[in-house]
């Protein structure tokens, strides 16, 4: 860890001392809200809690309508989102594994095994924590460690994006512009069910080609896809879309489950415009626990970055996950 910046100015410390005398969670919210960032309605996560999720992401690719050329990579991690302050988060990703397809069973189901570099991947994912904030309630600011590799940061960006549920609305259907890994995206937000007036199921839908940070041709559409080496520089992108389903806790409003499904359809020249290649990325987060925490420490750090994916300058198109990880390091 680098030197810690003193995060708290004296008046803040005084307020924190006052907080210790206060047992009402609601009152704490109010006071803390004035301390750091203001982010009205931006977050569903309560401060002084830790949200522990099981994370699963799978990236697969193959020629549409055929089963044989499929390839797939799977990531599993324990994701902890700590909330020391309102709108100030610390994310940790532990116990990760990286698996890939080694064959298919007679029913055509993919058989997966840990890659040779799964341990190395796990170590890279857990080496640095990632701090993030939502200062104005709209755009997400990341404060990564200066030594965090880009491809790891991109994978963490993907995890954060899956956790970001749109703000609560009274409308059952509306279009919002939301910050995502592909930049600012027009998003169709639907409330699918409510308990009383509180949404318990929501879904989002977006055409990724309309996002202002979407760059399909640079290296690859998604870092999760990139892990598998799904790089098609000489191809035409036909469509890219993403849908997410969120299950929300009716009382405390946090995300109990998030499932996002992203599909990119390419038309490589070699297929004579007949068959497209489909790259599919699915992500799933399931809440496991929400323990209380005591730490109120959050320092922004000096390295500020946005949520949008960064290009990782890989020009080759390696076939195996470990080759990709090597290229990107
Ligand atoms: C916090 O801000 C709210 C409105 O933004 C204000 O009403 C309240 O007095 C402030 N509290 C403190 C302790 O400054
Ligand atoms: C926050 O939510 C409340 C009620 O849900 C709404 O009245 C208010 O306008 C929202 N504030 C912002 C900044 O969106
Ligand atoms: C996103 O794009 C819309 C439409 O172009 C714009 O009105 C909005 O201000 C943008 N939001 C951000 C955070 O850049």
pTM: 0.76
Sort 13 into a burial class: Cβ within 10 Å, 0-12 / 13-18 / 19+: exposed
Most informative mutation of 17, 21, 34, 87 for ligand 1 (most atoms within 8 A of CB): 34
Residue nearest atom 14 in ligand 1 by C-alpha distance:
34
Q: In the predicted model, what is the mean pLDDT of residues 213-223? A: 58
Q: What is the pLDDT of residue 184?
A: 92
169 CA to centre of ligand 2 in angstroms:
9
In sequence order, the 6+-apart residues with CB closer than 8 A to the CB of 257 are 245, 246, 247, 284, 285, 286, 287
228 with 59: CB under 8 angstroms? yes
Q: Of 77-91, 106-120, 157-171, where does the model show the most confidence?
A: 77-91
pLDDT, average across residues 285-291:
95
Instruction: Tell me the C-alpha distance between 216 and 38, whole Å.
Output: 34
Contact 139, 179 (CB under 8 A): yes
Ligand number, closest to the Cα atom of 14: 1
Rounded mean pLDDT, 281-291: 94
CATH number for 40-326: choose from 2.30.230.10, 3.30.565.10, 3.40.30.10, 2.60.40.10. Answer: 2.30.230.10
Average pLDDT, the chain: 76
Within a 13 Å sphere around the CA of 149, how many CA atoms are in the beta-carbon half? 17
**8-state DSSP, 161:** H
The string of DSSP codes covering 50-78 is: EEEEEEEEEEEEEETT-STT-EEEEEEEE
Distances (CA, A) of 231 to 235, 298, 313: 9, 38, 12
34 lines ligand 1 (CB under 6 A): yes
Lowest mean pLDDT among 158-172, 201-215, 229-243, 271-285: 229-243
The residue count for the chain: 329
Confidence category of residue 130, pLDDT binned at 50, 70, 90:
very high
Q: pLDDT at position 238, please?
A: 76
Average pLDDT rounded to a whole number, residues 303-325: 60
Phi then psi for 15, rounded to 5 degrees? Answer: -65, -40
Cα–Cα distances (Å) from 303 to 15, 38, 70, 148, in that order, read 27, 20, 39, 11
Rounded distance, CA 284 to CA 240, Å? 19
Asked if pLDDT for residue 17 goes beyond 70, the answer is no
- pLDDT for 156 equals 93
Mutate to test the pocket of ligand 3, among 177, 213, 214 (most ligand atoms within 8 A of CB): 177
Residue 229 Cα to ligand 3 midpoint, Å, equals 32
Report the C-alpha gap between 251 and 25 in whole angstroms: 14
pLDDT band at residue 62, thresholds of 50, 70 and 90? confident
* Per-residue pLDDT, 312: 66
How far away, in angstroms, is 43 Cα from ligand 3 center? 19
- Looking at the chain, the whole-number percentage of residues with pLDDT higher than 90 is 35
Question: Going by C-beta distance under 8 Å and a sequence separation of 6 or more, which residues neighbour residue 232?
Answer: 220, 266, 268, 277, 317
Q: What is the DSSP string of 244-257?
A: EEEEE-TTT--EEE
Nearest-10 crossing angle of helices 150-163, 118-127: 70
**pLDDT of 181 over the 60 cut:** yes
What pLDDT does 5 receive?
Answer: 43
For position 36, what pLDDT does the model report? 45
| Straight-line distance from the first to the last Cα atom of the chain, in angstroms, rounded to the nearest whole number | 20
Pocket test for ligand 3, best of 184, 186, 187 (most atoms within 8 A of CB): 184
For the CA of 138, the closest atom of ligand 3 is 13
Q: How far is the CA of 122 from the centre of ligand 3 (A)?
A: 36
244 Cα–ligand 3 center, Å: 21
What does the pLDDT read at residue 13? 36
> How much of the chain, in percent, has pLDDT values that exceed 70?
70
Task: Give me the residue spans of the domains in the chain.
Answer: 40-326
pLDDT tops 70 at residue 227: no
């Amino acid at each position: 860890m680098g030197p810690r910046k003193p995060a708290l100015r004296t008046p803040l410390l005084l307020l924190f001392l006052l907080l210790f005398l206060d047992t009402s969670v609601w009152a704490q919210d109010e006071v803390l809200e004035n301390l750091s960032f203001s982010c009205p309605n931006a977050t569903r996560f309560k401060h002084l809690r830790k949200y522990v999720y099981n994370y699963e992401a799978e990236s697969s690719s193959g020629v549409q309508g055929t089963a044989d050329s499929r390839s797939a990579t799977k990531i599993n991690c324990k994701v902890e989102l700590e909330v020391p302050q309102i709108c100030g988060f610390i994310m940790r990703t532990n116990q990760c594994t990286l698996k890939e397809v080694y064959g298919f069973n007679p029913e055509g189901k993919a058989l997966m095994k840990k890659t040779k570099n799964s341990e190395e991947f796990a170590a890279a994912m857990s080496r640095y924590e990632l701090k993030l904030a939502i200062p104005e309630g709209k755009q997400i600011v990341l404060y990564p460690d200066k030594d965090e590799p880009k491809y790891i940061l991109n994978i963490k960006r993907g995890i954060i994006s899956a956790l970001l549920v749109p703000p609560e609305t009274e409308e059952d259907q509306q279009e919002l512009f939301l910050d995502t890994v592909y930049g600012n995206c027009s998003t169709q937000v639907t409330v699918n069910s409510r308990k009383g007036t509180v949404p318990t199921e929501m879904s989002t839908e977006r055409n990724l080609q309309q996002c202002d940070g979407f760059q399909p041709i640079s290296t690859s559409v998604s870092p999760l896809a990139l892990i598998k080496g799904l790089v098609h520089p000489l191809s035409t992108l036909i469509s890219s879309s993403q849908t997410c389903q969120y299950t929300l806790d009716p009382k405390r409003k946090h995300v109990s489950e998030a499932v996002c499904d992203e599909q990119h359809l390419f038309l490589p020249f070699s297929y004579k415009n007949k068959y497209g290649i489909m790259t599919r990325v699915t992500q799933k987060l399931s809440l496991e626990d929400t323990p209380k925490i005591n730490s109120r420490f959050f320092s922004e750090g000096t390295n500020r970055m946005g949520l949008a994916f960064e290009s990782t300058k890989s020009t080759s198109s390696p076939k195996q996950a470990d080759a990709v990880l090597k290229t990107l390091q």
